[in-house]
Amino acid sequence: MGAKKIEEAALATVKKFKSDAAVKRTGCIGFCGREPLLDIVLPGGPRISYGNMTPKKPATCFPRIFQKGP
């Protein structure tokens, strides 16, 4: 489903913002219909899950998190 490309895009976006956020792989968490999924965990913050990801989406949704917090 393209998860590897999405992971690479997420890691590149985290690096671009010089964040120490962790991009994590997930197994099925009950939202199989929303795959590919991507979770991001900010230090001291909650796990944020994104569904129906594409390689372009991290660059558009992550900046809000890194600039303002969750």
Q: For 9-67, how does the pLDDT look when each residue is reduced to its tens digit (9 = 90+)?
A: 989 988 988 887 777 776 777 877 888 888 777 778 787 888 898 999 888 887 777 77
Q: What is the pLDDT of residue 62?
A: 79
pLDDT of residue 68: 58
Please tell me whether the overall predicted TM-score, pTM, comes out greater than 0.75 for this model.
Answer: no
Residue 8 is predicted with a pLDDT of 93
Q: Phi and psi (nearest 5°) for 23?
A: -90, 120
Backbone angles phi, psi at 69, to 5 degrees: 85, 165
CB-side neighbour CA atoms (13 Å) of 69: 4
Q: How far is CA 20 from CA 7, 15, 34, in A?
A: 15, 8, 26
